[in-house]
Amino acid sequence: IGMTIAYAASFLGLILAYRAWHG
């Protein structure tokens, strides 16, 4: 459970960055 929260937070950040993403 502890690890799932940790990696979920990191991958959520990664997904948000990719979704938001020609200058």
Partner 1 sequence: MTVTFTFLDWLWVVLFLLLMLGSGILFYRLGKRSESDFFLAGRGLPWWLPASSVYATHTATDTPMWITGVIYKNGMAGIWYTFFCGWAAISAFVSTRIFRRSLAYTQAEWNVVRFTGLGSELLRGWMAGWQFFMNMFVLGWVGIAMGRICEYLFAWPIWIGLIVFSLVCAVYVLAAGYWGVVMADFQQGIIAFLVIIIVSVWGIHTAGGPNGIIEKLEILGELDRMNPFAFTGWWSGDFPIAWFITMMLIAFLGGFGMGTTIDWYVEAQRIQSAKTVRDASYSIWWGTILGLIRNSVWAVAILAFFVLFPNITEPSEYEMGWFRLGFDYLPAGMLGFFFAAILAIHLSTISSHLNLGALYATRDLYQHYVNPQASQKRLVQVGRISTGILLLGSFFYGLIMEDITSWLIFALWIMAAGIWLPNILQVIWWRFNAWGYLSSWIANLGFSWLVVWILPELNVIPNLLDYQQFWILMILGALVYFPVTLLTKSEPMDHLVHYYVMSRPIGWWKPVREEAMRRGLILTNGDTASGAEQASRPLDTYPSI
Q: Which residues in this chain contact partner 1 in the complex, by CB under 8 A?
A: 1-3, 5-6, 9-21, 23
Query: In the complex, what is the shortest distance from the CB of residue 4 to partner 1, in angstroms, rounded to a whole number?
Result: 10
**Cα within 13 Å of Cα(11), Cβ side:** 6
Query: In the complex, what is the shortest distance from the CB of residue 14 to partner 1, in angstroms, rounded to a whole number?
Result: 5
Query: In the complex, what is the shortest distance from the CB of residue 8 to partner 1, in angstroms, rounded to a whole number?
Result: 8
**3-class DSSP state for residue 21?**
coil
Rounded CA separation 3/14 (Å): 17
